[in-house]
């Protein structure tokens, strides 16, 4: 009780305290009104602006702030039991896992040897590592696989930039193509074909087979596997030519099939005629 408080005030306060139930404990201090402390209020602060180096503001646009950001709840982060089960059972192919593990292990070892942090790595480390793979004269497609395996290993929000690495790899791909250009074999001309057929001994099954393969393969421009996969029912012979049914090929991954026609030899020479070659080989079979 303040020394300045009168007896009436003390009586009123005491009576108020006595009305409190016995189960309650009330601790109080009587003070003058002038001694009351002001209530503590949280200062009103403006929401922080949400700007980064990629922000573009048009004339008249308001600066975005935290107040403009969406408010997320648990609902935004939770998946259904069915989705959770699918995620749990989602397993990459074994070969992919093994390849990625090997690539990431090699990258981690390289970073350790270079005194760099492997995960999460900086863009500079990433670029330097790609340059080291190029210096080893690895194939561009192999490097691209390594790059993918290592980058996906990083946390999604801390992955290194790819602009510089992609640029180096694109330039290296040009150099690689010039150094490793595939020189295709020359096409088989008619004189060359006849010279090869002349070596076939038609008195033997091997000779009949080789003559058939040369004339039909060149006439239809088949790949070797397409010739090897032909069944007897896939070949139809007429006097005007030979019909082939190619059930599956490299360019027909869905197996729709394609029919090819090989005309008979216009010179009328049976030895170099695809029709005669197919009939002789089928008779042998």
Residue 271, domain CATH: 1.10.443.10
Residue 46: predicted pLDDT: 75
SS (H, E, C) the chain: CCCCCCHHHHHHHHHHHHCCCCCCCCCCCCCCHHHCCCCCCCCCCCCCECCCCCCCCCCCCCCCEHHHCCCCCHHHCCCCHHHHHHHHHCCCCHHHHHHHHHHHHHHHHHHHHHCCCCCCCCHHHHHHHHHHHHHCCCCHHHHHHHHHHHHCCCCHHHCCCCHHHHHHHHHHHHHHHHHCCCCCCCCCCHHHHHHHHCCCCCCCHHHHHHHHHHHHHHHHCCCHHHHHCCCHHHEEEECCEEEEEECCECCECCCCCEEEEEECCCCCCHHHCHHHHHHHHHHHC
Domain shared by 206 and 166, yes or no = no
Residue 67 lies in a domain: no
Residues 194 and 230 in one domain: yes
- 236: in domain: yes
Summarize the confidence of residues 102-126 as an average pLDDT.
Answer: 94
pLDDT confidence tier of residue 219, bands split at 50, 70 and 90:
confident
Reported as a single tens digit per residue, the pLDDT across 9-23 is 444 444 444 444 454
Mean pLDDT across 159-177:
91
Give ∠ CA 113-116-119 in degrees, rounded to 5.
115
Domain presence at residue 159: yes
d(CA 5, CA 190): 128
Q: Give the domain CATH number at 147.
A: 1.10.150.130
> Shortest CA distance to 274 belongs to which of 218, 224, 204?
218
Same domain, 124 and 151: yes
Cα–Cα distance measured from residue 215 to residue 196, given in angstroms and rounded to the nearest whole number: 10
Domain-ending residue, one of 179, 212, 243? 179
Q: How far apart are the first and last CA of the chain?
A: 123
Q: Which of 148, 179, 210 is the last residue of a domain?
A: 179
List the domain range (segments joined by +) for residue 21.
Answer: 1-34
pLDDT (0 to 100) of residue 42: 53
| 195: confidence class by pLDDT, cuts 50, 70, 90 | very high
Domain end position, chosen among 109, 144, 179? 179
The C-alpha angle with vertex 146 and arms to 169 and 133, in degrees rounded to 5, equals: 55
Taking the whole predicted model, whether its pTM rises above 0.85 is answered as no
Q: How would residue 255 be classed by pLDDT, with cut points 50, 70 and 90?
A: low
Confidence check: pLDDT of 221 > 60: yes
Q: Which residues contact 92 (CB under 8 A, 6 or more apart)?
A: 100
Residues 197 and 269 reside in one and the same domain: yes
For the CA atoms of the chain, what is the radius of gyration? 42
Q: Give the model's pLDDT for residue 188.
A: 84
In this structure, the strands spanning 258-263 and 235-238 are unpaired
Residue 105's pLDDT band (cuts 50, 70, 90): very high
Q: Are residues 158 and 232 in the same domain?
A: no
Over residues 129-151, the pLDDT tens digits come to 999 999 999 999 999 999 989 99
Q: How confident is the model at residue 192 (pLDDT cuts 50, 70, 90)?
A: very high
Confidence (pLDDT) at 178 = 81
Are 195 and 280 contained in the same domain? yes
pLDDT digits (tens, 9 = 90+) for 45-88: 778 888 877 888 899 988 888 888 888 899 898 999 999 888 77
**Co-location of 118 and 139 in the same domain:** yes
Do residue 251 and residue 173 come from a single domain? no
Looking at the domain assignment, is residue 68 inside a domain?
A: no
| 218 and 278 share one domain | yes
To the nearest 10 degrees (0 to 180), the angle between helices 140-151 and 123-135 is 160
CA distance 207 to 218: 16
The number of folded domains in the chain is 3
Residues 197 and 132 placed together within one structural domain of the fold: no
Whether residue 277 is contained in a domain is answered as yes
Pair 230, 250 in one domain: yes
Asked whether residue 86 is domain-assigned, the answer is no
Report the residue count for the chain.
Answer: 285
Co-location of 230 and 175 in the same domain: no
Residue found by looking up tokens 């290592």 in the block: 150
Does 61 map to a domain? no
Look at residue 268 and tell me whether its pLDDT is greater than 60: yes
Within a domain: 136:
yes
């Amino acid at each position: 009780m303040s020394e300045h408080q009168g007896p009436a005030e003390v009586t009123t306060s005491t009576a108020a305290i006595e009305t409190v139930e016995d189960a309650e404990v009330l601790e109080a201090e009587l003070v003058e009104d002038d001694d009351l402390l002001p209530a503590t209020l949280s200062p009103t602060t403006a929401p922080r602006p949400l700007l980064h180096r990629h922000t573009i503001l048009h004339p008249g646009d308001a600066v975005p702030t935290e107040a403009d950001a969406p408010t997320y709840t648990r609902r935004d982060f939770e998946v259904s039991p069915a989705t959770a089960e699918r995620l749990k059972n989602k397993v990459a192919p074994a070969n992919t896992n093994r390849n990625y593990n090997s690539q990431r292990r090699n990258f981690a070892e390289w970073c350790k040897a270079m005194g760099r942090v492997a995960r999460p790595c900086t863009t500079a480390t990433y670029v330097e590592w790609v340059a080291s793979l190029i210096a080893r004269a690895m194939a561009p497609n192999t490097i691209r696989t390594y790059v993918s395996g290592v980058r996906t290993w990083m946390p999604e929000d801390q992955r290194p930039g790819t602009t510089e690495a992609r640029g180096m790899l694109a330039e290296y791909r040009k150099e690689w193509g010039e150094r490793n250009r595939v020189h295709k074999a020359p096409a088989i001309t008619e004189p060359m074909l006849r010279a090869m057929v002349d070596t076939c001994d038609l008195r033997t099954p091997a000779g009949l087979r080789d003559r058939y393969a040369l004339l039909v393969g060149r006439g239809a421009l088949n790949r070797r596997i397409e010739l090897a996969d032909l069944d007897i029912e896939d070949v139809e012979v007429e006097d005007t030519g030979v019909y082939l049914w190619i059930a599956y090929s490299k360019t027909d991954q869905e197996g729709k099939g394609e029919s090819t026609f090989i005309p008979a030899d216009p010179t009328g020479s049976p030895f170099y005629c695809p029709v005669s070659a197919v009939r002789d080989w089928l008779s042998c079979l």
